[in-house]
Amino acid sequence: MKPLLVTFGLTYGGALASFVHPYTGFLVYVVFGIIKPDSLWSWAVPQGNYSRIVAIGFLLGWLIHGGGGWRLGRGGVVLGCLVGYWLIMVLTSFVAPVPEKAWSQVEAMGKVILPLIAGATLIDSVDKLKQLVWVIVVSQGYLAYEMNLDYFFNPNFDAQEMSHGGLDNNSIAITMVTSVGMAFFLGLHANRAWQRLLALACAGMMVHVVLVTNSRGGMLAMIVTGVSAFALLPKRPAHILLFALAVAGTLATTGENVQKRFMSAFADKEEGSDEGGGRLEFWEGCLKSMGDHPLGVGPGQWPVVAPNYGLPARPAHSNWLQNGAEVGLPGVGCLLGFFLIGMWRLYPLIKDYHPVHDPWSRYLARMVICSLAGFLVAAQFVTVQGVELPYYVGLVGVGVLALNSNPGTGEVS
């Protein structure tokens, strides 16, 4: 009963609150994009258009309040890359062999991009960025908590059968990896002790979920996240000690089965490895498809054309290469640009000598760079479909760049 009341309360409360404070509706939309209540609580919450109701209320409220502000500064180009990616999806859908699949992908991406654009125009303070970060970390942390409960108390737990809102175990690992860096740095810099403990607890639960998913790409990406976190970490004794404790805790929970699973990414020949229709064969097929169709074959069309390259009709084990095959070099370039250009422009802000709008700009920049570094690696090993989280993390970066680009902030362009 409680999950149903929470879901209905957030749905209609968020939609109505949007007419007074549109950003509240956006935050609720982000919560639903992460936890997917009708999937998380399927035993109590019926299938419904909860996110759509919130989105309609949020977008109407956004329009009523004048459509937000459009002073995106150096974040404008970053957000523009994502819009360009979507427009290329639309154009390539006209030549797709199976148009209904292509337009379905366009619609799904539109549900991410349109609220993202509106949300970006509403971010006019560091406080709003901090609210977004907390929503991401706590929502993902709660999801990790539920999955850890299932692991410890479900005698029939099977990592290969893990699923959530259409995501399999590999995609779940990606969402966790993409959140760990954000949670870790929030645990370093949050204002109150209980907030720091909450953020670090969320980070710990996320790390454990990555381990129990048995996702080799997720494990590799978590290593990259750890290396990135140490590189970005302010080298103060307390911070280094906390990082060392985090590493020790992770190693202590990495059992022999997890180690063998990770090493099998380089050694074994099962499905998903480098032989018998595995990753390298799919990657080679995508590269050939890009050579044959530089402008792409259309969104969602790789499984349709894969048999032309002697491969099964299934995803390509790589988000970047499959996107390259489907929306062409311009499309995947725009998608990568959203993440990479954002990270590149955020990097100077982490330096102590670089003037910033607010000290939290440095902390937020570290969170985004660390989180997206893990995501970029993880997504090379999995075709990510239905994962909205990385775009919300990227939006935090867009907001930081916008606040540090506007006149009067002390930013030096």
Domain boundaries along the sequence of the chain: 1-67, 71-403
Q: What is the pLDDT of residue 392?
A: 96
- Do residues 23 and 122 make contact, with C-beta atoms less than 8 angstroms apart? yes
HSE on the CB side for 22, CA within 13 Å? Answer: 25
Q: What is the pLDDT of residue 336?
A: 96
Q: What is the pLDDT of residue 101?
A: 93
- What are the structure tokens assigned to 119, written together? 């949300």
- What are the structure tokens assigned to 286, written together? 């995508």
Residue 408: φ, ψ to 5°:
90, 0
- Which of 288, 293, 313 shows the shortest CA–CA distance to 302? 313
What CA–CA distances, in Å, run from 8 to 3, 101, 175, 377? 9, 31, 25, 37
Q: Residue 359 and residue 361: Cα distance in Å, rounded?
A: 5
Q: What is the pLDDT of residue 410?
A: 39
Q: Residue 404 and residue 340: Cα distance in Å, rounded?
A: 18
- The angle formed by the CA atoms of residues 74, 77 and 79, to the nearest 5 degrees, is 105
Q: What is the pLDDT of residue 260?
A: 54
- Which of 371, 358, 375 shows the shortest CA–CA distance to 397? 371
* Neighbouring C-beta atoms of residue 344, cutoff 10 Å: 12
Say if pTM beats, i.e. exceeds, 0.85.
yes
Amino acid code (one letter) for 125: S
Q: What is the pLDDT of residue 126?
A: 94
CA 44 to chain centre: 27
**What DSSP letter does each residue of 146-170 carry, written as one string?**
HHHHHHHH-TT--GGG-EETTEEHH
Q: What is the pLDDT of residue 271?
A: 43
Query: Among all chains, which residue has been given the structure tokens 């790589």?
Result: 318
- Which of 144, 153, 115, 91 shows the shortest CA–CA distance to 28? 115
Q: Residue 413 and residue 156: Cα distance in Å, rounded?
A: 56
Question: What are the pLDDT tens digits along the chain (413 aa)?
Answer: 788 999 999 999 999 999 999 999 999 999 999 999 999 998 889 988 999 999 999 999 999 998 888 889 999 999 999 999 999 999 999 999 999 999 999 999 999 999 999 999 999 999 999 999 999 999 999 999 999 999 899 888 888 888 888 888 888 989 999 999 999 999 999 989 999 999 999 999 999 999 888 888 888 888 888 888 888 887 778 778 877 877 777 766 665 555 555 555 544 444 444 443 478 899 999 999 999 999 999 999 999 999 999 999 998 889 999 999 999 999 999 999 999 999 999 999 998 888 887 889 999 999 999 999 999 988 988 887 768 999 999 999 999 999 998 644 434 33
What CA–CA distances, in Å, run from 229 to 125, 166, 235, 297, 370? 25, 30, 11, 38, 6
Amino acid code (one letter) for 380: Q
